Amino acid sequence: MLGRIHSVESFSAVDGPGTRFVIFFQGCPMRCLYCHNPDTWAVTGGREVTAEELLDEYDSVREFMHNGGITCTGGEPCLQIEFLTELFEKAKQRGINTCLDTCGITFTEHSRTAFDRLMKSTDLVMLDIKHIDPDAHKKLTGHSNENILAFAKYLSDTGKPVWIRHVVVPGITDNEEYLHRLGRFISHIKTLKALDVLPYHTLGRTKYEQLGIEYPLGDTPPMSKEGAHTARDIIMDGLRCEIRESLKK
């Protein structure tokens, strides 16, 4: 089976536990206003590879992957769920830790069987929740967050370890009400292992210029690390509030 891959990164310390070999899948249905990888959107881009070729690339640097493994990101890896599943299944045969970085947008009840198989060879899911409010989510990404929140519940119900990722964007997600609501929602994820709150940055602006695409967020300033820390505190406060209220019932 062939998959379409945008690129690989040999050594990453921010895409899952340990040192990771990161595979960027080609193709994404979302059009997030702050996306820094617009060159991964087209499903026809990238290069065609087999699972074996990617795993051989990993094995060539495996001795440097301290307590790590493979992370598949994008783009949206689950657009190529059959290839992704084959890659993860063969990775597990080689004793490689597998992590999926996804927004969950492709998850539906109709695709549940395919996800059930994928999850059997997935050690960790890093789930990007772009926005907790459905209307604001559609403005931000072009899609509802219904499938994404349903996927979060699915992961919780099936016992799959989850890291939640959330990008704080000035004027969009940097909102106390929304952040508190996000915390309340993720409090119900029984398998939550970590929460990464990431500050919005403008490093992808150059890619838009190279592709001849107008940068959607214009002059929106980057979010400071301090601002991201404050946002995380608000999310955690919402999480704790939801837990306290549920214990009273």
- Residue ranges of domains in the chain, CATH in brackets: 2-248 (3.20.20.70)
Q: Which pLDDT value is given to residue 64?
A: 87
Angstrom distance (rounded) from CA 7 to CA 71: 12
Angstrom distance (rounded) from CA 73 to CA 134: 23
Q: Which pLDDT value is given to residue 153?
A: 98
Q: Which pLDDT value is given to residue 249?
A: 73
Q: Which pLDDT value is given to residue 65?
A: 86
Q: Which pLDDT value is given to residue 70?
A: 98
Angstrom distance (rounded) from CA 101 to CA 76: 8
Measured at the alpha carbon of residue 15, what is the angle toward residues 14 and 16, in degrees to the nearest 5? 100
- Is residue 189 a contact partner of residue 156, using CB atoms and an 8 Å limit? yes
Three-state SS sequence of the chain: CEEEEEEEEEEECCCCCCCEEEEEECCCCCCCCCCCCHHHCCCCCCEEEEHHHHHHHHHHCHHHCCCCEEEEECCCHHHHHHHHHHHHHHHHHCCCEEEEEECCCCCCCCCHHHHHHHHHCCCEEEEECCCCCHHHHHHHHCCCCHHHHHHHHHHHHCCCCEEEEEEECCCCCCCHHHHHHHHHHHCCCCCEEEEEEEECCCCCHHHHHHHCCCCCCCCCCCCCHHHHHHHHHHHHHHHHHHHHHHHHC
Q: Which pLDDT value is given to residue 89?
A: 98
pLDDT along the chain (249 residues), means of 10: 96 93 97 94 95 97 91 97 98 98 97 98 98 97 97 98 98 97 98 97 91 93 96 98 90
